[in-house]
């Protein structure tokens, strides 16, 4: 025991203990998730039931992605400083009597070792059995993953605050797809060359981390004033130009929200669009899956463009209710809380910002998809996309307009779905709500799963579905009405804002109802149309928006 | 000693019976404060006495658990727009958006206040030597305080609330900030509430002082009256005193042997009576500074 305790009393031990101390419970959870997924895999191997197997595979894959992302965050050693708006290596460690090389080596070596081991364990025992990595060379992928991790650390620590910093890190991460796929893309390349590429990647990452951190520790690199001066020198007119006045308080707040939260989704979508689409082309071309003339599958890019903003909006939604993404609690910053604006006004600005962000993200995605189809695939790809629909390119484009509306609407819905809960600024409420949502959605999955197994249950559920939907809709409207009434009584929201929210919800619901009609008809599922329309109304946020001004009031006046 | 409250008539700020508890701890206990138009109130007290909590109630960031808070006759929780549009505030935490440039922050703030005076803003910008193109996160602590004060002053608020405006600042910046406040008071007759640990500042510019201790108001009155109602006296005893003498009406007693200094609240005749009652005579007496009064009342028992 004494020896074990003494081991922590070395500088390296203390650095490692910090990681362990902070994340030990989540590491334990990771272990539990791993064992649970292992159980899924065994169950999948034993069952003959195809759909159940697929669901288990998806659950296992989700477990891996969550566990891996958590490891990246735990060992990444990147912290945010709310005051200086700086994200990077924890500055407090620079004050410790530890050499810079040790500050670099401990998190990189230890983090690298752990992520590699965890990756290999998941890959060998879970991902390969469920058919995700197929017959790939696991050691090679694992080592590329190691390089990916080290590059994220190196750039996350060493790049100074500058415009486009996140983009550089993101691109460096995505670029690792190329070495990862080298064995498939360049099967004739001698093995020695591949290893040389990997060694070079390792060496460069460590050099950047060491050099960057030593400059930062000496205050040479991480001096925002120097970069501000350099920026001003490059943009002399811009840096000192006084911004024009805002037209109103609404515009000023929208500008602030846009800079803190709104830019996140279109920025991420834009960056991914720039890089993901050419990667898809390149990979398809080299893997020989592109079809004739090296042109990729026609519907792949539009599908990616359709799905990506919706997925990303789910990922960034939790930040939407905050007023500063770096602030750990959801409490309002004083400089915002004391502005003479109604609580409902702050909420309306957030909703508008989310709509703007959704529209731009979708437009970026679709624009990028069209651009890359045109540039990389030439006219042939457009032709193929047009042929993919029964009535050619024009019909495809005409159908694309409502589809774009649909995409924007659902991206916006994902962004604002938790806004009422998030605006309370209470962590216990957001945690509880997250757990509740997870339980609710998990329950639906389990029910669907059981229904797929049991024909009788399936039939009963389908029979009850209209009643369940009507009850859900009635409950939603009743809850929202109560919240609106309460908000109006407490002057947290104006009658006009209530009108806008209810009117918007009704219009969006009508759009979904109309949009789903021809689809149901085309699929031969016309009897299901009323249920689908009601589901649309249920999915669109109303209660969340109704409680948002009250939540804001509760947060602002504690 | 409890100095009676000022009248609530014409009060810009009227706090009455305000109670706030955080768990078991009473942060504010039956606090009543009134500030009349055009006066400068200094809010003093130890750390944790409840000064910032009281200020947060005035801004509507905290909701009273009991009692009422009114600014300009309005409830800051029920009508934040009506109240906050007339209040300028500088936070102790200097909670400004570090990512904005100074001029962006001014433009952002301006949008909320129709009465924003651009000429005045220019003047203060020059006076405070702020670079409009600089990002707030790169400003020094003193510059950040000046930027915050500029944003609080440029729309000429009717009430200026400053929470520890000179905390952590060097003497030059402190002087600049105090001068700006004094000018506002002298030239425009605005109402100011400021909390501070630096009692010489309070003494210099406040015409009313409120002292909080453990969430309760222990002193409330005009600065001169508060000082005049206290006496720092040197008592002489015929025989050396082995234990600290107990003097009725004294907030602090210190010394040894035959000479003991006390801080007494009450009149000179009451002091003479109290001294005679314990067999001592008054050797010397003077009007104490606010600093001495705060230390005596907060620290208490003497040594």
- Probe site for chain B from A231, A343, A557 (most B CB atoms < 10 A): A557
Q: Flag whether residue B197 sits within 8 Å of chain A, measured between CB atoms.
A: no
**In 3-state terms, what secondary structure has residue A426?**
coil
- pTM, 2 dp: 0.75
A245 chain-B contacts, CB cut-off 8 A: 107, 110-111
Cβ distance B95 to A333 less than 8 Å, yes or no, reads yes
For chain B, the distance separating the N- and C-terminal CA atoms, rounded to the nearest angstrom, is 21
- DSSP lists the bridge partners of residue A550 as none
CA closest to B135 among chain A residues: A228
Q: Which of B229, B180, B169 is nearest to B205 (CA)?
A: B180
B62 chain-A contacts, CB cut-off 8 A: 557-558
Q: Flag whether residue B113 sits within 8 Å of chain A, measured between CB atoms.
A: yes
Alpha carbon of A151: minimum distance to chain B alpha carbons (Å): 26
Alpha carbon of A215: minimum distance to chain B alpha carbons (Å): 19
N residues, chain A: 558
Q: Flag whether residue A240 sits within 8 Å of chain B, measured between CB atoms.
A: yes
Q: Flag whether residue A329 sits within 8 Å of chain B, measured between CB atoms.
A: no
- Closest residue to A246, CB basis, from B89, B96, B107: B107
- Closest residue to B81, CB basis, from A86, A243, A341: A341
Q: Flag whether residue A80 sits within 8 Å of chain B, measured between CB atoms.
A: no
CA closest to B75 among chain A residues: A557
Alpha carbon of B132: minimum distance to chain A alpha carbons (Å): 7
Based on C-alpha coordinates, what's the Rg of chain B? Answer: 22
Cβ distance B133 to A240 less than 8 Å, yes or no, reads yes
Could you give the CA distance from residue A169 to residue A187 in angstroms, rounded to a whole number? 28
Does B53 have pLDDT greater than 90? yes
Structure token pair of residue A204: 């460069």
Does B4 have pLDDT greater than 50? no
Q: How many CB atoms lie within 10 A of CB B25?
A: 11
Structure token pair of residue B241: 């005193």
What is residue B268's predicted lDDT score, i.e. its pLDDT?
A: 83
The answer to whether the Cα torsion of A447, A452, A456, A461 is positive or negative is positive
- Closest residue to B63, CB basis, from A228, A342, A558: A558
Residue A358 to residues A100, A348, A366, A411, Cα–Cα distance (Å): 43, 15, 12, 6
Interface of B with A in 68-87 (CB under 8 A): 77-85, 87
Cβ distance A557 to B96 less than 8 Å, yes or no, reads no
N residues, chain B: 303
Predicted confidence pLDDT, tens digits, chain A (558 residues): 454 565 667 778 888 888 888 888 888 888 888 888 888 777 777 766 666 666 777 777 778 888 888 888 888 887 776 556 567 788 778 877 888 888 899 889 999 999 999 999 998 888 888 777 666 788 888 999 999 999 999 988 888 766 667 778 878 887 887 888 777 777 778 888 888 989 999 999 999 999 888 888 877 665 545 555 555 555 544 444 446 789 899 999 999 999 888 888 888 888 777 777 777 766 666 555 544 444 455 566 667 777 788 878 877 887 788 887 666 667 788 888 889 988 888 998 999 999 999 999 988 887 877 777 776 665 555 555 554 555 555 656 666 677 788 888 889 988 888 888 888 888 888 888 888 888 887 788 778 777 777 778 888 888 888 898 999 999 999 999 999 999 888 888 888 888 888 998 999 999 888 888 888 887 777 888 888 888 889 888 898 889 998 999 998 888
A491 chain-B contacts, CB cut-off 8 A: 78-79
Question: Please, which pLDDT band fits residue B2 given cuts at 50, 70 and 90?
Answer: very low
For chain A, the distance separating the N- and C-terminal CA atoms, rounded to the nearest angstrom, is 47
Q: What angle do CA A270, A275, A278 make, to 5 degrees?
A: 125
Structure token pair of residue A428: 């216990």
- DSSP lists the bridge partners of residue B262 as B233, B253
Q: Flag whether residue A326 sits within 8 Å of chain B, measured between CB atoms.
A: no
Over the stretch B123-143, which tens digit does the pLDDT of each residue have? 989 988 898 888 888 888 888
Over the stretch B93-119, which tens digit does the pLDDT of each residue have? 778 888 888 999 999 999 999 999 999
Q: Flag whether residue B59 sits within 8 Å of chain A, measured between CB atoms.
A: yes
If 0-12 CB within 10 Å is exposed, 13-18 middle and 19+ buried, where does residue A230 land?
A: exposed
- Closest residue to A340, CB basis, from B80, B133, B134: B80
- ipTM of this predicted complex? 0.81
Question: Please, which pLDDT band fits residue B300 given cuts at 50, 70 and 90?
Answer: low
What is residue A84's predicted lDDT score, i.e. its pLDDT?
A: 60
Q: Flag whether residue A335 sits within 8 Å of chain B, measured between CB atoms.
A: yes
């Amino acid at each position: 025991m004494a020896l074990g305790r003494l081991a922590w009393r070395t500088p390296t031990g203390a650095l490692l203990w910090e990681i362990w101390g902070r994340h030990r419970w989540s590491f334990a959870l990771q272990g539990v998730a791993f064992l649970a997924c292992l159980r899924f895999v065994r169950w999948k191997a034993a069952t003959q039931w195809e759909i159940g197997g697929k669901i288990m595979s998806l659950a296992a894959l989700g477990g891996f992605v969550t566990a891996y992302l958590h490891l990246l965050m735990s060992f990444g050693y990147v912290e945010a400083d709310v005051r200086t708006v700086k994200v990077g290596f924890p500055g407090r460690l620079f004050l410790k009597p530890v050499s810079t090389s040790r500050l670099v080596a401990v998190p990189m070596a230890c983090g690298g070792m752990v992520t590699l081991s965890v990756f290999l364990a998941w890959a060998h025992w879970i991902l390969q059995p469920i058919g995700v990595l197929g017959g790939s060379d696991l050691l090679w992928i694992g080592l590329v993953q190691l390089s990916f991790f080290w590059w994220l650390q190196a750039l996350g620590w060493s790049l100074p605050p500058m415009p486009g910093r996140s983009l550089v890190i993101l691109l460096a991460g995505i670029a690792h797809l190329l070495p990862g796929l080298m064995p498939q893309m360049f099967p004739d390349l001698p093995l020695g060359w591949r290893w040389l590429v990997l060694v070079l990647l390792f060496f460069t990452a460590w050099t950047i981390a060491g050099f960057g951190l030593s400059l930062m520790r000496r205050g040479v690199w991480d001096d925002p004033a120097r970069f501000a001066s350099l920026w001003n020198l490059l943009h002399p007119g811009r840096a000192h130009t006084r911004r024009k006045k805002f037209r109103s308080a609404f515009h000023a707040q929208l500008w602030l929200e846009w800079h803190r939260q709104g830019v996140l989704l279109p920025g991420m979508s834009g960056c991914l669009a720039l890089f993901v689409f050419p990667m898809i082309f390149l990979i398809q071309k080299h893997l020989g899956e592109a079809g004739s003339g090296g042109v990729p599958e026609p519907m792949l890019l539009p599908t990616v463009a359709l799905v990506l903003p919706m997925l990303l909006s789910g990922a960034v939604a939790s930040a939407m209710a905050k007023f500063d993404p770096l602030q750990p609690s959801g409490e309002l910053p004083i400089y915002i809380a004391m502005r003479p604006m109604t609580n409902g006004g702050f909420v309306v600005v957030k909703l508008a910002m989310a709509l703007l962000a959704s529209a731009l993200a979708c437009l970026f995605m679709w624009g990028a998809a069209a651009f890359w189809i045109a540039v990389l695939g030439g006219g042939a790809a457009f032709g193929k996309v047009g042929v993919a629909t029964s009535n050619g390119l024009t019909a495809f484009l005409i159908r694309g307009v409502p589809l774009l509306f649909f995409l924007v609407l659902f991206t916006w819905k994902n962004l604002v779905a938790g806004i009422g809960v998030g605006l309370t600024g209470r962590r216990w409420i957001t945690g509880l709500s997250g757990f509740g949502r997870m339980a609710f959605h998990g329950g639906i999955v389990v029910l669907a799963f059981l229904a797929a197994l049991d024909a009788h249950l399936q039939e009963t559920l389908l029979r009850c579905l209209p009643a369940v939907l009507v009850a859900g809709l009635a409950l939603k409207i009743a809850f929202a009405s109560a919240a609106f009434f309460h908000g109006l009584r407490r002057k947290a929201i104006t009658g006009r804002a209530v009108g806008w929210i209810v009117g918007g919800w009704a219009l969006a619901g009508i759009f979904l109802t109309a949009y789903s009609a021809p689809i149901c008809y085309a699929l031969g599922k016309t009897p299901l149309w009323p249920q689908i329309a009601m589901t649309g109304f249920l999915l669109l946020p109303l209660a969340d928006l109704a409680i948002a001004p009250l939540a804001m009031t509760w947060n602002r006046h504690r | 000693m409890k100095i009676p409250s000022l009248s609530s008539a014409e009060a810009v700020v009227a706090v009455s019976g305000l109670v706030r508890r955080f768990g078991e701890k009473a942060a504010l206990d039956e606090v009543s404060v009134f500030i009349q138009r055009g006066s400068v109130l200094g809010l003093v007290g130890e750390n944790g006495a409840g000064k910032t909590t009281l200020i947060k109630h005035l801004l509507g960031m905290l909701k009273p658990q009991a009692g009422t808070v009114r600014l300009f006759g309005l409830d800051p929780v029920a009508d934040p727009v009506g109240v906050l549009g007339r209040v300028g505030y500088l936070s102790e935490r200097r909670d400004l958006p570090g990512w904005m440039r100074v001029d962006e922050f001014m433009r952002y703030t301006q949008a909320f206040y129709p009465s924003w005076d651009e000429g005045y803003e220019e003047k203060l910008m020059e006076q405070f030597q702020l670079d409009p193109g600089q990002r707030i996160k790169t400003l020094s602590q003193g510059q950040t305080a000046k930027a915050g004060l500029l944003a609080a002053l440029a729309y000429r608020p009717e009430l200026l609330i400053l929470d520890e405006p000179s905390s952590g600042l060097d003497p030059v910046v402190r002087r600049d900030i105090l001068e700006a406040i004094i000018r506002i008071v002298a030239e425009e007759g605005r109402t100011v509430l400021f909390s501070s640990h630096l009692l010489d500042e309070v003494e210099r510019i406040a015409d009313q002082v409120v002292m909080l201790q453990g969430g309760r108001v222990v002193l409330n009155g005009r600065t001169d009256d508060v000082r005049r109602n206290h006496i720092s006296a040197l008592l002489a005893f015929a025989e050396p005193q082995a234990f600290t003498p107990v003097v009725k009406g004294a907030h602090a007693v210190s010394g040894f042997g035959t000479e003991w200094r006390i801080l007494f609240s009450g009149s000179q005749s009451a002091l003479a009576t109290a001294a005679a009652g314990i067999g001592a005579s008054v050797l010397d007496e003077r009007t104490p500074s606010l600093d001495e009064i705060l230390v005596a009342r907060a620290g208490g028992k003497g040594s």
